[in-house]
Amino acid sequence: SNLIKNLVAVHQTAIYTCATPVQEAIARGFEHEISVFNTPESYFQNLCKELRPKMHFMSTVLKESGFKPVIPEGGYFLVSNWTSLEHKLDLSSETDKYKDLKFTKWLSKNVKFQIMPLSIFFSEKSKLLAEDYVRLCFFKKDETLKEAEKVLTTWTRKLS
């Protein structure tokens, strides 16, 4: 447990570094994207078209499962308030300090559904601001999103 805790801390901070060759590749990618931006070849134009339906699908799934998603203007994550489900759950088996950590660990163990606690992105003094929220990535294959819908729907039916 002690080793894993430290490895998690390293992983969360180390993945944000970028080697010079990668920076150069990204710069060249942006140069190309700028030249084709308002054309059908534009990655960013196509990405928006691909992500928007996925975001709407998952936000609907989350709403129907009792979450309250915050609809983003961009990106591929949905932040969602989960506390309307809290009174239906027994999170006492989880010993974490913050509710979102308890909930996400419980959900992973009992429902086999992975979702991120939002408080991990906040400083210690601000974590309480985020403990009512979780974060979900919706940039997945459609089959994966359908499976997520099935898992959440099955779970929330059992809660009722």
Q: How far apart are CA 18 and CA 37, in angstroms?
A: 25
pLDDT (0 to 100) of residue 17: 66
Decide if pLDDT at 6 tops 90.
no
Question: What pLDDT score was predicted for residue 16?
Answer: 64
Q: Give the chain's mean pLDDT.
A: 93
Instruction: Tell me the pLDDT tens digit for each residue of 30-74.
Output: 999 999 998 989 998 899 999 999 999 999 999 999 999 999 999
Alpha-carbon distance 101 to 28, whole Å?
Answer: 39
Residue positions counted in the chain: 160
pLDDT at 144: 98
Does the pLDDT value for residue 8 go beyond 90? no
pTM, full prediction: 0.79
What average pLDDT score do residues 72-94 get? Answer: 95
Tokens of 5: 């805790």
| Rg, Å, the chain Cα set | 19
Q: Which range (44-48, 58-62, 107-111, 132-136) has the least confidence?
A: 44-48
Q: What does the pLDDT read at residue 12?
A: 73
Does position 11 have pLDDT exceeding 80, yes or no? no
| Three-state SS sequence of the chain | CHHHHHHHHHHHHHCCCCCHHHHHHHHHHHHHHHHCCCCCCCHHHHHHHHHHHHHHHHHHHHHHCCCEEECCCCCCEEEEECHHHHHHCCCCCCCCCCHHHHHHHHHHHHCCCCCEEHHHHCCHHHHHHCCCEEEEECCCCHHHHHHHHHHHHHHHHHHC
- Structural domains for the chain: 47-159 (3.90.1150.10)
Distance CA 142, CA 154 (A): 18
